[in-house]
Amino acid sequence: MVEGGVKMKEIIEKFDLEKVIEEFESLTQDAENVQKETLKRILEGNASAEYLQSLGLNGRTDPESFKACVPLVTYKDLEPYINRIVDGDFSPILTGKPITDVSLSSGTSQGKQKYIPWNDELFETTVKIYQTSFVFRNKEFPIQNGKALSFIYSSKLSQTKGGVTAGTATTNVFRNPGFKHAMNAFKSDSVSPDEVIFSPDFHQSLYCHLLCGLFFREEVSLISSTFAHSLVYAFRTFEQVWEELVFDIREGVLSNRVTHPSIRTAMSKLLKPNPELANLIHKKCIGLSDWYGLIPELFPNVKYVLGIMTGSMEHYLKKLRHYAGEVPLLTSEYGASEGWIASNVNPKVAPEFATYVVLPQIAYFEFIPLKQLDGTKVELEPVGLTHVKIGEDYEIVLTNPAGLYRYRLGDAVKVIGFHKSAPEIKFLCRSNLMLTINIDKNTENDLQISVETSSKMLAEEKMEVIDYTSYIDLSNDPGHYVIFWEISGEASDAVLYECCTCLDKSFVDAGYVSSRKVKGIGALELRLVRKGTFQKILEHYVGLGSSAAQFKTPRCIGPTNTKVLQILLENVVKNYISSAYN
C-alpha cells in the first residue's frame, strides 16, 4: 500500500482545479476511445491472470474480442477464484499482480458479505472521482480554509486464513497513506483525530466526532458521511447525548462512555474547560423547536451537508432536511464496493433529482437493457458506454483493474442525457432486490414510494417512520408482503390500520394488483417494531466487520438473512392487516 500511497501523494500535490475540469471535459468529449484505452490498460496489466488466459483472450485487448471471449458474471461465478485468493494463493489468478487486500461488502443486500479484490489502482480511481466531484462542488459552494465534520468510521481490519487483509471498501480508502493528503487537497480535513476515525467502537467514535465538531464549530465548513443514514443517525444520537457533551466541554473531562485508551489520549489533547462554549451550546439546544435547524445553529459557517443521498438513502432526506434547515444537502459520488462509476457534476440539484456523469477512464462499462431481463431473452446483449439511449433503463456491467471482468453490478439506472459523449445517469434501485411472489415485481424503489405515500398519515400526527424493511411471508398460502416499521411516536391503531391499507394500495405494479384482486397474493401486513430495532440491525452488521459509515438498511429481507429477520421478529410489538381489495 505504501508505494501506491507515495504515487497518489504526487498526483494530489499537483492537484489543480481548472486542470481537473479540462481533463473531465476532454475525457467525456471522446468517451468511446477513452473506454477502449481503459479496457486496453486493464487487460494489458492483467494479461498474465489465470482467469483471462483460460478464456482464450490470448493478449487481445479490443472490445470485440473481450466481449466474445469473456462471459458476463456475477459474484457467484467469481467466488471460487476469490476464495483461492483469500485462502492464500498469491499466484496471478484474477490480476497480474497478487491481491493482498480485499474489501468486505456491507452484506445488507443479500445477507452475506462478499470479498471484493482491492488494489492501489482502485484507490487511484477513488481519488480521481473525488477530484472531479470536488471541483464542481467547489465552483458552486467554495470553501477556503474550513474543516470537515466527517462522520467516518474505519471497520476492524482482519486477516483471512490465507493472510489477506480484509476491511470494508471505505476502510481500505481511509487507511491508504494518500487519503489524508487527498482530504487536505479537497479542503476536507477532518476535525477528528485519526484515533477517533480508526476506533474499534463506532459508538465511542460517534460521540467523539460530535465533541470534536463542537470544539471547532466556527471552523466547520462542511458536514459529511458516506451515506445519509449515518448523518441522520449522528444527529439523532446528538439529541440523546447533547447534555453530556455540554458537560464534557464545560469541565474539560471526557465522558466515561469513551473507554478506548488511544481515543482518550487523543481527545485529552483537545479537551480543556470551556464554560463559555458549553453555555452557548446549551442555550442553542434549549432554544430549538423539535431540533429544526440544529446543524446551522451548532455550526454557523457550514456551507453544505454531503453524502450519498440517492436510492435507499432518499428515505432519510426529510429528517436530514429538518436538521439542516436552510443548509443545502448535496449528494456525492456514485459507486459500489466493487468500484466507482460516476460523479455528481450538478451539485445544486436536489438529491431526489440528482444525476451522475459516468467517468470513462475509471473502469470499462457496459449496460444491459432492463427489458432484456424480463425472462424472455436467452442471451443478454449489453451495449457500450456511448451507445446507451436516453430514457432507457439499464443494469450496469463493470470491468475494473482489480480483477472484476464483465461483472454484473446489480444496479439499475436510467439514462437522463449525455455530458458530451458520456452518459448522465440516475440511480433507480438494486435490480436484484425484488418483492415478488408470483407475477408481481416490486422493486426497492416501489417499496420506498409505498412507504413515503402511507407515512404521510403519520406526518399529520407529527410522527415519522424512522426506518423500514420488508419480507415475503410464504408460511401460509397465499403468500403476502410484510412491511416492518419503526416509528418515532405512539400512533393509534386506527391510524396504523389506515397506513397499512395505504401501503397495500400504493403498490401499483399490475401483477401485484391483479394478484391481490384474485387472492393470488394475501393481504399486506404491517408489523410495528419497538424503538431501537434498526439500531440492533446496524450493530449486527458492524459486529460482522462492516463499517457503520457503509451501512445500508436492507430493504428486503431474503431467506438467507435469518439473523436480521430474527431481530425483527423478536421486536414486533403490533401488527396490522390491510383491508384493501376485500
39-70 residue pLDDT tens: 999 999 999 999 999 998 888 999 999 999 99
User: Which residue from 231, 245, 204, 240 is spatially nearest to 149, judged by alpha carbons?
Assistant: 231
87-121 residue pLDDT tens: 888 899 999 888 878 877 755 545 567 888 888 88
Mean model confidence pLDDT for the chain: 86
Buried b (16+ CB within 10 A) or exposed e, 228-239: bbbbbbbbebbe
Per-residue model confidence (pLDDT) at position 178: 67
Q: What is the spatial distance between Cα 53 and Cα 51, in angstroms, rounded to a whole number?
A: 6
Q: In what order do the strands lie in the sheet with 101-104?
A: 115-118, 101-104, 165-168, 158-159
Looking at 432-436, 467-471, 485-489, 525-529, which range is the least confident one?
432-436
The yes-or-no verdict on residue 375 having pLDDT over 70 is no
Per-residue model confidence (pLDDT) at position 185: 57
77-91 residue pLDDT tens: 999 999 998 888 889
Distances (CA, A) of 161 to 54, 88, 263, 338: 27, 7, 30, 22
Q: How confident is the model at residue 386 (pLDDT cuts 50, 70, 90)?
A: very high
DSSP per residue over 306-317, as a string? EEE-SGGGGGGH
Q: What is the spatial distance between Cα 502 and Cα 523, in angstroms, rounded to a whole number?
A: 12
The total of other beta-carbon atoms located within 10 Å of residue 527's CB is 19
Per-residue model confidence (pLDDT) at position 3: 40
463-514 residue pLDDT tens: 899 999 998 998 888 889 999 999 988 889 999 999 999 999 999 888 888 8
Q: What is the spatial distance between Cα 210 and Cα 213, in angstroms, rounded to a whole number?
A: 5
Q: What is the spatial distance between Cα 74 and Cα 408, in angstroms, rounded to a whole number?
A: 5
The yes-or-no verdict on residue 187 having pLDDT over 80 is no
**Domain boundary assignment for the chain:** 145-152+193-327, 434-577
**Percent of residues, the chain, with pLDDT higher than 70:** 90
SS3 letters across 225-252: EEEHHHHHHHHHHHHHHHHHHHHHHHHC
The yes-or-no verdict on residue 215 having pLDDT over 90 is yes
231-287 residue pLDDT tens: 999 999 999 999 999 999 999 999 999 999 999 999 999 999 999 999 999 999 998
The total of other beta-carbon atoms located within 10 Å of residue 10's CB is 10
Per-residue model confidence (pLDDT) at position 462: 84
Per-residue model confidence (pLDDT) at position 12: 44
Residue 544 is given by DSSP the state: T
Per DSSP, what are the bridge partners of residue 340? 335
313-358 residue pLDDT tens: 888 899 999 999 999 999 988 888 888 899 999 999 999 999 999 9
Q: What is the spatial distance between Cα 297 and Cα 324, in angstroms, rounded to a whole number?
A: 9
On whether the CB atoms of residues 418 and 390 are closer than 8 A, the answer is yes
The total of other beta-carbon atoms located within 10 Å of residue 305's CB is 23
Distances (CA, A) of 516 to 340, 438, 509, 579: 40, 11, 11, 11
Q: What is the spatial distance between Cα 104 and Cα 116, in angstroms, rounded to a whole number?
A: 6
Q: What is the largest CA-CA distance in the chain?
A: 71
Distances (CA, A) of 292 to 210, 246, 486: 18, 19, 21
Q: Is the model's pTM score more than 0.95?
A: no
All 3 cell numbers of residue 175? 487507511
Sign of CA dihedral 293, 294, 297, 299: negative
Per-residue model confidence (pLDDT) at position 112: 64
All 3 cell numbers of residue 464? 415519522
Mean pLDDT of 195-220: 91
The yes-or-no verdict on residue 433 having pLDDT over 90 is no
Per-residue model confidence (pLDDT) at position 2: 34
User: Which residue from 420, 421, 358, 369 is spatially nearest to 391, judged by alpha carbons?
Assistant: 369
Per-residue model confidence (pLDDT) at position 312: 79
Q: What angle do CA 349, 354, 360 make, to 5 degrees?
A: 120
Q: What is the spatial distance between Cα 175 and Cα 169, in angstroms, rounded to a whole number?
A: 10
Those residues whose C-beta lies under 8 Å from the C-beta of residue 540, and which sit 6 or more positions away, are 563, 564, 567
Those residues whose C-beta lies under 8 Å from the C-beta of residue 514, and which sit 6 or more positions away, are 439, 520
**Percent of residues, the chain, with pLDDT higher than 90:** 51
Secondary structure E strands in 389-524: 393-399, 407-419, 422-430, 434-435, 442-443, 465-473, 480-487
CA atoms within 13 A on the CB side of 344: 28
Q: What angle do CA 307, 167, 262 make, to 5 degrees?
A: 85
